[in-house]
Chains A and B, each alone.
Chain A
């Protein structure tokens, strides 16, 4: 941070003029990203850093519509098995190589075939990529897959320089070469990531800040302290309980957007012996738990009412939200009645696994108090992240408080959770009807048709309740008022084009 001051001092003392007035944007991250290779990366914060140096084929706007970035247009064939993408002309990678169809083909195939690629499951439907001409590629799919374009607005659509990627192999992430507005300069693990303006960017007239420094600061309180004292210009994941303070500070501004993901509770229904308890074995008891929780009060107590209660995998403001299944109000009497009907005797204990987090404990405690009134004793067990992953997968829990960061396409919030034995089906939920609808939803591209399919799916899932959806967070980005032009998108990423630092 203060290095920039040193450079600036050096500049003004030894070299005068506008050439030396470097503007630097310091962004505070909630954790240190993992490897900066779009094929091998897996963290949410990594995507925030990628937004500055690694452009994708497409991007999204605040209404979740797909907009051009490195590609100009896409066209899906009638049978849904071919997608033709036209690339933007005149785009260069940071090493000067051109972004042409061959480079696009290389990048996509890298995501699909490289050993250890985390993008493979995301674009598994892709069979091969064909070069049509220098500006056009054709993606040939094994089966129709409507979420594909949405995947291309994320890491799977990030283009890497074939020359650099071939040379570096799996070490590409140590010095990545992409086609974004900034180019990678330096990374000191757990300390900082520095990127610098790329003079040959296709939209260079809209890039006004010279340098961006990403600083991982784990503690949200310390991130805010840094922003207030001038050590940062922007930081992600402000706490809901800090919103009032940020808004009352005239030098700070809060940019928000409702997240694409959700927060909820997984109930172990069929993943091992732990599922044999009143909650896991009876859908009515699960519905009772859902009714016992006062989502509005939870929001009010823990988040000062800033977040949005929910009951589906997309938020009530999302186009795919099914209005015919509104968020239930608390009803303890009905909950008790349902439990009686199910034949369970109260009170009974539930092993409630809660991953460690700044706010998760408070959420769990409030839920515990609410559930207790219906006779359900949630026994909180705060577990660190790595352990909770393992235990969730192995079914060593009865209830599991979890969060999902969300994907642009609703399928991304559904398939891997509710499909029988899918990687994140921690509850062990298997329902043939649900499976069929999940697969159908992927084959269809038309919005209203898909929504109708998902309406039937919602009915099944809300009746079985293997996952209780509780609320949706807001993406909370706090920044200095000196930063102009910042707009928050629901995916939580910090987009850096069009920003000015006064």
Chain B
């Protein structure tokens, strides 16, 4: 186990190196000049030149990359060209927002996805099966920006039950916070529910067919006990690890959903910074979220191995 862990940790280093390369190069290849974007409507050439000097935009790419990496290693992720706030501060500010949204989304995804998956597996071939299927698939069959707009229209404008946009911290007012995040969390969770449903369903089907479930049935236990106590516990383990991976993706920020609902999380920050060519922000945030994703990946794998041997026994 320790060697496994050690190996995987070592692998993180080249992976993160490639992440940094990908993001760095991709941004620099983007057409458009950050200095020009920054330069205001009048576009005075002197000011543009000064911006280029200040942010080292006039240096060759490899030099800029080295400066950036040097900063990262010492904990300095640079600052936003647009509002002059250090990237580290921006990340810390937006972290609770993204974490809250991601957690709510995963909870919703688990409820819908696992629920639908169990029903679909247990009632395989019946109408319940298809209904559960469509319900869960609905989530990934609709573009989430679309679903978001429709929900705002229905629940905010027509019914007035929920606020149309914005974010309130859980600590400030938990009721308002839930009201503001329930729609975006639903939009995000919906899509993941389908993935979870699929895996729950196949895991349940495999487990329902297995020896010990057959034994439990033969012993005369009620079907509900069989499902809830024996089948589910074993089927859900791979699903939980999958949920952890999806959480990792969610923590990278939900680009379009945050845009529609004006949620100040990582997704909105990244995409706005891409369009504003605010390089440091994109690089810093993606590096942090990619690291989180890879870490969660690692944890999921470890958890899977830890749990598995007991299962086999």
A and B touching (Cβ–Cβ under 8 A): yes
Which of A's residues lie within 8 Å of B, judged by CB?
1-3, 5-6, 32, 34-35, 41-44, 115-118, 120-122, 170-171, 173-174, 188-191, 215-219, 221-222, 225-226, 228-231, 384-387, 389-391, 393, 404-405, 416, 423-424
CB-CB under 8 A from B149, the residues of chain A are: 221-222
Number of A-B contacts (CB under 8 A): 158
Task: Give the residue of B30, B45, B84, B163 whose beta carbon is less than 8 angstroms from that of A35.
Answer: B84
Give chain B residues whose Cβ lies under 8 Å from the Cβ of A171.
Answer: 84
A14 to B299 Cα, complex, angstroms? 47
Given contacts A1-B166, A174-B84, A228-B156, 15 further A-B contacts (CB under 8 A): A3-B172, A5-B176, A32-B272, A34-B83, A42-B38, A115-B54, A189-B83, A229-B163, A384-B275, A386-B32, A386-B37, A391-B31, A393-B36, A404-B41, A416-B42
Given A226-B165, A390-B31, A423-B42, are A2 and B176 neighbors across the interface (CB < 8 Å)?
A: yes
Which A residues are CB-close (under 8 A) to B40?
41-43, 118
Cβ contacts under 8 Å, A385 to chain B: 37, 275
Find the residue from B51, B83, B277 having the highest chain A CB count within 10 A.
B83
Could you say which of B7-15, B18-26, B257-265 contacts chain A? Answer: B257-265
Question: Residue on B with the closest CB to A43?
Answer: B40
Question: Can you list 8 A-B contacts (CB < 8 A)?
Answer: A1-B163, A1-B176, A41-B40, A121-B42, A222-B262, A225-B164, A225-B165, A386-B277
Among A122, A386, A389, which residue has the most Cβ atoms of chain B within 10 A?
A386
CB proximity of A156 to chain B, nearest CB, Å: 11
Q: Which residue of A lies closest to B167 (CB)?
A: A191
Across chains A and B, which 4 residue pairs bring their CB atoms closest together, nearest first? A42-B40, A2-B176, A386-B32, A191-B264
In the complex, A416 Cα to B51 Cα: how many Å?
20
Taking a contact as CB atoms under 8 Å apart, the answer to whether B93 and A231 are in contact is no
Given the interface pairs A189-B264, A190-B269, A424-B43, the reply to whether A226 lies near B275 with Cβ below 8 Å is no
Provide the B150-163 mask, 1 if CB < 8 A to any CB of A, else 0.
00110011001001
Q: Is the CB of B42 within 8 A of A229?
A: no
B33 — nearest CB in chain A belongs to which residue? A390
Contact call B176/A120, Cβ cutoff below 8 A: no
Q: Is the CB of A116 within 8 A of B51?
A: yes
Contacts of A424 in B (CB 8 A): 41-43
| Shortest Cβ distance from B155 into A: residue | A229
CA A121 to CA B40, docked complex, whole Å: 11
The reply to whether A118 and B83 contact each other, CB–CB distance below 8 Å, is no
Interface centre among B32, B34, B153, B165, by most chain A C-beta atoms within 10 angstroms, is B165
Please give, as numbers and ranges, the residues of chain A lying within 8 Å of B37 by CB-CB distance: 385-386, 389
Chain B residues within 8 Å of A173, by CB: 83-84
- A38 CB to nearest B CB, Å: 12
**C-alpha gap A42/B48 in the complex (Å):** 13
CB of B90, distance to nearest CB on chain A (Å): 6
